[in-house]
Structure 1
Amino acid sequence: MAAPERGRLAPALALVANAFVWGISWWPFRELQSAGLHPLWATAFIYIVSLVLLSIARPHAWRGFAGQPQLWLLMLAAGMTNVGFNWAVTVGDVVRVVLLFYLMPAWSVLLAWPLLGERPTAADLLRLVLALAGVVVILHVPGTALPVPRTLPDLLALAGGFSFALTNILLRRLHVVPPETRVGAMFAGGTIAAAAAGVIGWSQGVASAPQLLPPTAIGLAVLLSLGFLAGNTCLQFGASRLPAQTTALVMLCEVLFASVSAVVLGAAELSSNVWAGGALVVAAAAWSAWDTPGSPAAAAPQSAA
């Protein structure tokens, strides 16, 4: 194997590991819910653990907040990403949720113009139409007039994908901020947003109260937290060493991992709508990744973590 290929293997495998963590994360979230812990409380717990570990490993990470008010917006966007995705994959059809979530490249086209000054090209607009067509197909219900989101998982997945796109754009705007500070902001956002949503949901009867878990469930929650922390570390390692389009394409493995695991474990139904619409959404995402400029990961998508 040539030296450049060897140099790319480890970063590529790191990105696959991150995609694997997110692709199968729906299963531990469902296990925790079956033990009595709503995904909002599970998300808050997971990110509290990650936040504590980050603070121990990088105690100076929080100094980067000085003079960077946009980090607070990053906290909100990253937090809402996790609230939307983690809740949706716990209560909805996993494949459908992941596909709707991966509408992110389409949202990026709409957000990049006002926030980054990047005017959409003709190819950008074609990808946007392709992705939206996929969503229309996925959401179509025979006998109804309009293909609109009608269930909580669909709404959460779409909102999470929009927040994911906003998170990535803010990360590009904040590229001069130390990586540990950006990661800390994202972990803090996951903690605060999930806890706040949990309290609101509890008060409205949408979310159950936090429960005292048995030791096995606590162990699973800790493992999930460590998995997210490891996945984010893998992402930072891989995305900083590979071209942006390579990173984005490898991250599409998350759709594969989620789909296979969900079908095997009976958490998804691959209807003709999902097949057809999903093909359009994934094609738009892959096209977007392929067209990304070949510089290292400044423009590459970041983990939902």
Structure 2
Amino acid sequence: MPTPTPPHARLIGFICLGVTATGWAMNWPIIKILLRDWPPLFARGVAGTAAGIILAGIAIGYGEKLRVPRHAIPRLLFASFTNVFAWMGFATVALKMLSIGEGALLVYTMPIWATLFAWPILGHRPGLRDVIALVLGIAGIVVLMGEHGFALTQDKLLGIALTMGSATLFALGSVLMRSPLPVAPIALAAWQVGLGCFPMVILGLIFEKPDIAALTPTGWSALIYMTLGPMGICYLTWFATLRRLPPSTAAMGTLVVPILGVIGAAVVLGEPLGLREVTAMALTLGGVTLALRKSSAT
């Protein structure tokens, strides 16, 4: 029988969860600000590569070993692709074509697709709750994208495809990588963030040809925040959360990320936040909540 978590530890866990969710949420409008100066792959790649180096230093400071067993390297590379390159890279490129409300909600449909992938891969047949979750998620997407009667531009369609690719690849990775990698948590985050983001820098230099000197003081502030906040401090507080709260509670807590991100975008960038956006959030996150409750029970 598991030892109950002391009340003060649970309180610290919820505080860490709040810091994590807020930091990740505010990253959405911050990315938009940085994209005014630098192209998406290069911008996200530089922030992530720097964060990976910082996390590696923190891991060493905590006494964690960075060595990865040879047999785990292919799984680490796969996780870096699905959890970082696709999840962060595709979504960041999509923000050139979508609003934050559209991008964040589409990306956070990931748990719904994970329940669907679990059927053919793990043999977990979808039940009534899964069907309802899928219907709610699709309904939220329909409401979100139906503003102009689905007269979507080519850029908008590409943005939708990229965010859905981000969500589904992350979902596929989460289903295929159910057994943990034999690497300490902070060291694992350092490897995944670094391996997932450094190729973005290379691809950005080749195809986006960024003007390195174009970064304004506001852009520098955004870059520093992305590096130290969502990819640095928030990873540490996330691991602190998981040590003190059940994974299902932590996962449910992340549902505030797209909500706070959309609100932050409305306040900071003046993006729309009306009945359509609120309805889409309620439907989509309702479906995600059902999917998370199912996954935590299996």
Change (3 A) 1:37 1:155: same
Decide whether the 8 Å contact of 1:93 with 1:267 is kept in 2: no
Distance in 2 of aligned mates of 1:198 and 1:219:
20
Aligned residues: 288
Inter-partner Cα distance in structure 2 for 1:262 and 1:145: 24
Aligned twin of 1:302: none
The share of aligned pairs that are identical, in percent, is 24
Give unmatched runs, 5+ long, in structure 2: none
- Is 2:286 aligned against 1:280? no
Tell me the equivalent position of 1:67.
71
TM-score normalised by L of structure 1? 0.81
| Paired position in structure 1 for 2:119 | 113
Residues of 2 paired with 1:87 and 1:267: CA distance?
A: 20
Aligned residues: CA RMSD: 3.0
Q: Which residue of 2 aligns with 1:50?
A: 51
Relative distance call for 1:264 and 1:91 in structure 2 (3 A) is same
Measure the CA separation in 2 of the matches of 1:171 and 1:241: 23
> 1:215-254 CA distances to partner (integer Å, 9 max, x unpaired)?
6643542332011211111111102321222112111111
- In the superposition, relative to structure 1, how do residues 18 and 210 fare at CA in structure 2: closer, same or farther (>3 Å)? farther
Classify 1:119/1:149 alpha carbon distance in 2 versus 1 (closer, same or farther; 3 Å). farther
Identify the structure with bigger relative contact order (alpha carbons < 8 Å, sequence gap 6+). 2
* Partners of 1:20 and 1:98 in 2: CA distance: 14
Task: State the match for 2:38 in structure 1.
Answer: 37
8 Å contact kept, 1:94–1:267: no
SS of the equivalent of 2:244 reads coil
- The TM-score normalised by the length of structure 2 is 0.83
1:75-116 residue CA offsets vs partner (Å, 9 max, x unmatched)? 111211111223334553111211111111111112223444
For residues 104 and 120 of structure 2, the distance between their equivalents in structure 1, rounded to whole angstroms, comes to 26
Gaps of 5+ in 1: 300-305
In structure 1, what is the Cα distance between the partners aligned to 2:167 and 2:105?
A: 10
Q: 1:192 aligns with which of 195, 198, 201?
A: 198
Contact kept? 2:97, 2:159, Cα under 8 Å = yes
Structure-2 residue corresponding to 1:303: none
237 and 170 in structure 1: CA distance in 2 versus 1, 3 angstrom threshold: farther
1:190 Cα deviation after fit: 3.0
Contact conserved, 2:97 with 2:155, CA < 8 A, in 1? no
1:248 maps to which residue? 251
| Partner residue, 1:14 | 16
Q: Secondary structure at the match of 1:151?
A: helix
Structure 1 letter corresponding to 2:68: G
Question: CA separation in 1, counterparts of 2:155 and 2:113?
Answer: 16
Q: Within 2, Cα distance between the matches of 1:170 and 1:264?
A: 38
Deviation, structure 1 residue 64: 1.9
CA contact (8 A) 2:55 2:187 kept: no
1:236/1:152 CA distance change after superposition, 3 Å = same
Give the Cα–Cα distance (whole angstroms) in 1 for the partners of residues 196 and 32 of structure 2: 18
Q: Structure 1: how far apart are the matches of 2:219 and 2:178? A: 37
1:1-305 paired onto structure 2 within 5 Å = 4-34=6-36, 36-58=37-59, 61-68=65-72, 69-77=74-82, 78-89=84-95, 91-144=97-150, 150-199=156-205, 202=207, 207-212=208-213, 213-214=215-216, 217-227=219-229, 228-293=231-296
For 1:24, the aligned partner's letter is M
Amino acid at match of 1:191: C
